[in-house]
Structures are given as C-alpha cells and as structure tokens.
Amino acid sequence: MRNHVREQRIQREMSQAELAAALGVSRQTIISIENGRYLPSLPLAFGIARFFDLTVDKMFDPDEEEAGA
Amino acid sequence: MMRFIRPRLRKPLLRGIALLGIAGAWVIGSHTWEPAIVIAVVAVGQTVYRYTWAGEDTDESALLGSRADERQKQVGLRARALSGSVAMAAAYIGLVIALAVKRADAWPFAALLAVTGFAYLLGLSSYGSGEPGPEDEVTAGRQARYPVNS
C-alpha cells in the first residue's frame, strides 16, 4: 500500500523526528511507514491524515504498491 | 508498585531482580556464597547497562524503556511469540530425546511442554478467540447482498 506521508512531510518542511513527536510515535515508526514496511493502525492512520488535513483515503492508497517495498 | 518506578527503569530492574533470584536459589541450594556474589554483581551491572541502553533512540531501547509505540509493541509481541514457539519446540525435542534414551528425568521437558501448550490455550481464550457470538438479526437467514471478495 502506497502512502503520501513522506511527500506531505517534506512539503511542510518537517523532520521525521518532528512528525513522530507530533503523532506520539517513534522516529523509527515514521521511517517504517514512509518506506511502506509498516501499515499503521486505524487510529494512527486517522491521526496522520488529520495532521496533514487530508482524508485517510487521500493519504493511503490501497491500489498502489509501495515502490521498492 | 511498578507505577512508582520510572518506566525506563522497570524492565532493567525486573531483569536484575530475576538474576538476584537465581543468586538466592544458589545460596539456598549449595550453601556457597562466591558464585552467588558473582551473579549478584552481574545483576547490578546489567541493570545499570540496560538502564543506559533504554535511553537510546532505537526500537530495542524503546521496548526496554517501556515507551514503545504500536509498531514497536508489535515487534516485541512477535519476538515473544517466537521465543514461546522455540521454547515449545525445544521442550518437545527434549522430551522425545529423553524418552528415546529411556531417561527417567524426562518430566521437566513434559512439564515445560504442558505449560507452554496451556499458555497458548490461555492466550487464545484471554485474547478473544471465543468472542464471535450469534449471527446478527439482519443477516440471520439471509444471503449476503453484496459479493464477498475473500
């Protein structure tokens, strides 16, 4: 499943550590989500989408494979 | 009681206490102090080492420091599941070998196998394997309206 966490984060000029702190998770988890190695839980997925003012389906695309995953 | 202990210290301290338990058992069983003192020193040393390690920025440190997020907890759970599976397999292999060579002291393997098997069943019942109840009132007696993919 492809997601747009990295693009959104870079667009807002945030570091992985800053995003992690804002969402209450570890930096390693943000890295795993961005690389498509970890699918976040529903509450975290909603948290990420809300944080970037997007809907979950705009943030996570189930029909697209993560490149390199 | 654990609430009064700093989260970062909890697991290192528990492991230290577990090692001190072994030292105590040694003293009770063999009435010699020297190895027990060595184990106690190792217990204190590893507690300090693990406490320091728990402050680092890694998945293992987060688990050790009781501040793991959902992914790290999942990693920890999978690691525990693997250790449980390995313990069960080791107990089974030990039991088979002990029985094959007709050793009388095969019972610890049998006991460990029984405990791990019972713990698995306990886990199934504790974590919701029996939760699905009767069909709901809408779908009972009807065919699904929508195609089911899986």
**pLDDT, tens only, B85-106:** 999 999 999 999 999 998 788 9
Shared domain check, B100 and B116: yes
Q: What is the ipTM of this complex?
A: 0.86
Q: Do the domain assignments include residue B139?
A: no
Element (H, E) at B107: helix B107-126
DSSP β-bridge partners for residue A2: A61
Q: Which amino acid is at A23?
A: L
Give the residue from chain B lying closest to A17, CA to CA: B57
Shared domain for B99 and B115, answered yes or no, is yes
The residue ranges of DSSP E strands in chain A, in sequence order, are 2-3, 60-61
Asked if B53 and B109 sit in the same domain, the reply is no
Angle between helices A27-34 and A16-23 (to 10 degrees): 110
Q: Tell me whether B137 touches chain A (CB under 8 Å).
A: no
Residue type at B67 in one-letter notation: R
Distance to chain B for A25, nearest Cα, Å: 5
pLDDT score recorded for residue A68: 47
CB B26 within 8 A of CB B35: yes
Per CB-CB distance under 8 Å, the chain B contacts of A15 are: none
Contact present, B47 and B13 (Cβ < 8 Å): yes
Whether residue B137 lies inside any domain: the answer is no
- The answer to whether residue B140 sits within a structural domain is no
Last residue of one domain, picked from the residues B45, B68, B91: B68
Q: Do B71 and A27 touch (CB under 8 A)?
A: no
Q: How far is B146 from chain A (nearest CA, A)?
A: 20
Is B25 in the same domain as B76?
no
The pLDDT-based confidence of B122 (bands split at 50, 70, 90) is: very high
User: Smallest CA–CA separation between B75 and chain A, in Å?
Assistant: 11
Give per-residue pLDDT as tens, A23-61. Answer: 999 999 999 999 999 999 999 999 999 999 999 999 998
Domain check: are B38 and B80 in the same one? no
Q: Are residues B27 and B6 in the same domain?
A: yes
B13 and B40 belong to one structural domain: yes
For chain A, which residues lie within 8 Å of any Cβ of chain B, measuring from their own Cβ?
24-29, 32, 38, 40-41, 44
The reply to whether B97 and B40 lie within a common domain is no
Query: Based on the domain organization, do B51 and B3 belong to the same domain?
Result: yes
Same structural domain, B54 and B82: no
What total number of domains does chain B contain? 2
Average pLDDT, chain B: 89
> Is the CB of B71 inside 8 Å of chain A's CB atoms?
yes
Question: Could you give the percent of chain B with pLDDT greater than 70?
Answer: 89
Over 50: is that where the pLDDT of B74 sits?
A: yes
Nearest CA in chain B to A33: B71
B100 falls within a domain? yes
The answer to whether residue B15 sits within a structural domain is: yes
Q: Domain limits at B23?
A: 1-68
